[in-house]
Amino acid sequence: AQKVTQAQTEISVVEKEDVTLDCVYETRDTTYYLFWYKQPPSGELVFLIRRNSFDEQNEISGRYSWNFQKSTSSFNFTITASQVVDSAVYFCALRHQGGKLIFGQGTELSVKP
């Protein structure tokens, strides 16, 4: 079965703190794709990153970084020096070839000034 677990329902940090959002997935496929989306208070869903299962290279984009580890079936997302504008619900999602996009339940991040 395909499944995405975001065990952290809510996280609260103070501005400038680093924060890591956890994502653990389950799949039997050897080829699959992982995604992160951001949903700010305004409600829209914003695509952040896509990672293919055959590419375990970690990625950094500004204050955002992603750590993909197949050995632990995890695709964690770290925000460095968090800002109030980072406050949002973050979704991790999984897709295998031919399958639908499966979302985790989301982690609500609150960054306080």
Partner 1 sequence: DADVTQTPRNRITKTGKRIMLECSQTKGHDRMYWYRQDPGLGLRLIYYSFDVKDINKGEISDGYSVSRQAQAKFSLSLESAIPNQTALYFCATGVGDRSTDTQYFGPGTRLTVL
Q: How many residues bind partner 1 (CB under 8 A)?
A: 21
Q: What size, in residues, is the chain?
A: 113
Does residue 91 touch partner 1 according to CB under 8 A?
yes
Does residue 21 touch partner 1 according to CB under 8 A?
no
Give the residue, chosen from 26, 84, 101, 112, that forms a contact with partner 1 under the rule CB under 8 A.
101
* Shortest separation between residue 73's beta carbon and partner 1, angstroms: 18
Does residue 77 touch partner 1 according to CB under 8 A?
no
Is the dihedral angle over the CA atoms 40, 21, 70, 58 positive or is it negative?
A: positive
Mode of pairing for the β-strands spanning 59-61 and 64-69: antiparallel
Does residue 7 touch partner 1 according to CB under 8 A?
no
Our CB check for partner 1 shows the closer of 53 and 76 to be 53
Does residue 64 touch partner 1 according to CB under 8 A?
no
* Shortest separation between residue 113's beta carbon and partner 1, angstroms: 26
Q: Which two tokens stand for residue 2?
A: 């395909």
3-state SS assignment for residue 83:
coil
Does residue 50 touch partner 1 according to CB under 8 A?
yes
Please give the DSSP secondary-structure letter assigned to residue 46: E
3-state SS assignment for residue 11:
strand
CB distance 108 to 41 below 8 Å: no
Give the residue, chosen from 25, 36, 37, 66, that forms a contact with partner 1 under the rule CB under 8 A.
37
